[in-house]
Every structure is written in structure tokens, then in C-alpha cells.
Chains A and B, each alone.
Chain A
Amino acid sequence: GAGVSQSPSNKVTEKGKDVELRCDPISGHTALYWYRQSLGQGLEFLIYFQGNSAPDKSGLPSDRFSAERTGGSVSTLTIQRTQQEDSAVYLCASSRKPGQGSYGYTFGSGTRLTVV
């Protein structure tokens, strides 16, 4: 597609439930990143995928968070047993392969997750 698509746009879930957030990157972008933006804060790196390489999971805050990327395209971020502190906007971004000139990322509009 023309841009990075994220779904759902908004999600309200009960504490303790699992949620899945989806990201559909720009076609041909091999790098995909997930970020978390808590209220009034900057963006916190969560995880990075590049092609078939092992993902960089160094930013995942706990083992309740996981992500996968199928076929080098769509990615799903899963949060198990959600807690209130997980409430945030989750942003996905894609870019060309690092090293081919850094043109910055293209971001999706994010998923606003509210845990009640």
C-alpha cells in the first residue's frame, strides 16, 4: 500500500486480557519497527525486524510482549495479560533496508490501547 497501515485504530481491553495489534508496512520496505508512546512521552523502541534475520527484541519491556512478522510483511504485536501500564499508543514504522541511505521511517497512525 501507499502507507503504513495499523489496526485497530483504537482498542479498549480489560485488564488481564490478551490483545493483538497489526501493522502492514509499505510494500518493499524490509525493515519494520514497533514503538510505544505513553501519554506525554517520547517514543520508546520495542522491537525491530529486518528481512529473515533474527529480530532485535531489546526494547520489549517484559515477556508479556511478543511480536512476529510473517512472510517479511505484516507484523503482529501481542500483549498477554494486559496491565494498566500497557495503556499507550503503539506505533509501527517501516523503512528501506538500513545501509541503503537513511531516509527515515514511514510511520503508521498507531493503535491507541486503553486497558481498563
Chain B
Amino acid sequence: AQTVTQSQPEMSVQEAETVTLSCTYDTSESDYYLFWYKQPPSRQMILVIRQEAYKQQNATENRFSVNFQKAAKSFSLKISDSQLGDAAMYFCAGSGGATNKLIFGTGTLLAVQP
């Protein structure tokens, strides 16, 4: 079974500053993937970044990067140079196993202050 935990219901950051969103997970799978999704008010789930568990190197996508600590089962998202458009709900998720279904955390609502 998999579980994904996000312990920060809400976060706030000043424009141009850096913020880190936390996520921990638990899984019995040996081969799994971890994701961060962004959900703006439009409801559309947008893939921000993904990490293959077998890769030691942390994934990066422009201003977004992760800190993947496999032993600690931690998968945090760092947003650098925050922009007003980054304001949204962010979900951490993990997948693996035969069905590859995504298991989501409860989300972190990020506010960006001008």
C-alpha cells in the first residue's frame, strides 16, 4: 500500500523568493515514481515535475526542483524566484505497481504575495 502525506495545508511566499513544500511517502513498491502536480482554480491538474525512484539525481524543471531523500521517504518541492502565477494548490503524488495508479496527498495551498 502507498500513502502520501503533505503536512502543510497552506504556505505563503513573497514574489521572487524561494519556498519549499514538504511531502513524505510510504510504499512497498521497489519501482515507483513521485510527482508534484499544480491545480489552479481552473481545476486542471498540471504536472510540475516527476522523479523516478531509481534515480539518485534530483529532478529539476526550470524554477522547480525536488529534494528526493529516498531513505527518509521525503520528496520536497522547491520553487525559486516565485511568481504570481505559481499561486495554486500543489499536490504530491506517488505511483507504482501493476496499475500505476496515483496516490495523492491532501495538498498545500500556496499563496504568492506581491
Binding site for B on A (CB under 8 A): 31, 33, 35, 41-43, 45, 48, 50, 56, 89, 91, 93, 95, 98-99, 102-105, 107, 109-110, 112
Contacts and interface: CB of A to CB of B under 8 A. Distances in A.
A102 B100 contact: yes
Interface string B76-114: 000000000000000101010011111111110000000
Given A42-B107, A104-B35, A110 B43 contact: yes
Interface of B: 33, 35, 37, 42-45, 47, 50, 52, 91, 93, 95, 98-107
Contact of B100 (A91, A95, A109, A110): A95
Given A91-B45, A109-B42, A43 B91 contact: yes
A48 B43 CA distance: 21
Given A31-B100, A56-B99, A107 B44 contact: yes
A95 B99 CA distance: 11
30 contacts: A33-B101, A33-B102, A42-B91, A42-B104, A42-B105, A42-B106, A43-B91, A43-B93, A43-B102, A43-B104, A45-B101, A45-B102, A45-B103, A50-B99, A56-B99, A89-B43, A91-B43, A93-B45, A95-B100, A98-B98, A102-B33, A102-B52, A102-B95, A102-B100, A104-B37, A104-B50, A105-B47, A107-B44, A109-B42, A112-B43
A48 B104 contact: no
Chain A contact residues, majority secondary structure: strand
Contact of A98 (B42, B43, B52, B100): B100
